[in-house]
Amino acid sequence: MHRKQQFFRILCALGRVTTVTLVVGMFVTLAFAQNPVRPTAQPIVSTPSLPCPGPPTPTEAVIDWAQLLFDPCHTGFNPYEFVLSPVTVGNLRLHWKYTTGNYVFSPPAVVNRVVYVGSADNNLYALNAGTGALLWKYTTGGDVFFSPAVANGVVYFGSDDGNLYALDANTGAFLWKYTTGNWVYSSPTVANGVVYVGSSDFNVYALNASTGALLWKYTTGSFITASSAVANGVVYVGSYDNKVYALDASTGALLWNYTTGGGYVRSSAVVANGVVYVGSGDNNLYALGATTGALLWKYTTGGAVESSPVVANGVVYVGSKDNNVYAFGL
């Protein structure tokens, strides 16, 4: 079987590839709120020494969700969310929906009251977060499966045509593209002026965020659909060669790799407090030392762990293909 067909079957098996009618379901979570009047979003300000946001301050009410799993560390947790809570979530109502030309697999990014989302109709869309009105769209040569990332007025995203694109976030104007050797099913991660992205050509790429110039690439043993987590100068990414890699963010040099028990790694790693959490096709959720790659803990579920874990308030949450959602805490 052709590798692309095989991979698409894996995507379908996740139950996340839907018909156009379920596009509405995706935007329900975007366009619902307790109150249609929202505070103005403020951008995340990051520094090389603090790659991920710190704890919220009492004056902050809303923050942008600029890339997959919220921040470069991929915690999957927005500590700045004060509007929705167990008390208010029951009051959600539909504000709008927008229909694309095909199914929507891409998680959205939301920055400065604009929703950026890809579709299998080959387009990336920019929509007004308050109304759902189309601001602009950009057409690529293939499906746009995975989440875009937005930083410093630029939106970055991969396409089934093998390119990583950079567009002006306000206008959709083309800035640059970088051509890999195969489909880009990995969501880009932006940290400290560098875009990190994996490709089905087995490589992890580090590109200058302003110009698209190649800074380095690292070749793994199989295709990469997991997105890179970046923390403390290290890039963490999984590959279908059953391994999790830790690479120097500046040079791409291998720091360590960890081989799972025979399972492909399409789960995007999460980094929190010196620990890397990642799922594997061998049914396990792993916790590895961020510095050494040493196994600290693992838990075996009844199915492949292809979803990305999230860490919030001392609890690790993850889904498995055994139909269960797990929560682990002390």
Each residue of 193-206: pLDDT tens digit? 999 999 999 999 99
What confidence category does residue 137 fall into, taking pLDDT thresholds of 50, 70 and 90? very high
Residue with tokens 């989440």: 147
Residues in contact with 137: Cβ distance below 8 Å, sequence separation at least 6, in sequence order: 123, 124, 125, 126, 172
CA nearest to 156, candidates 116, 127, 128: 116
pLDDT of residue 115: 92
Distance CA 137, CA 20 (A): 18
Q: What is the CATH number of domain 1-43+60-180?
A: 2.40.128.630
Across-strand partners of 257?
245
Residues in contact with 273: Cβ distance below 8 Å, sequence separation at least 6, in sequence order: none
DSSP 91: G
**pLDDT above 70 covers what percent of the chain?**
75
Distance CA 206, CA 217 (A): 6
Count of other CB atoms within 10 angstroms of residue 224: 31
Q: What is the 3-state secondary structure (H, E, C) of 161-209?
A: CCEEEEEECCCCCEEEEEECCCCCCCCCEEECCEEEEECCCCEEEEEEC
Query: What pTM was computed for the model?
Result: 0.79
With a cut of 70, say whether residue 166 has pLDDT above it: yes
**pLDDT tens figures, 288-314:** 999 999 999 999 999 999 988 988 888
4 in Cβ contact with 183 (< 8 Å): yes
* HSE (side-chain half, CA atoms, 13 Å) at 274: 5
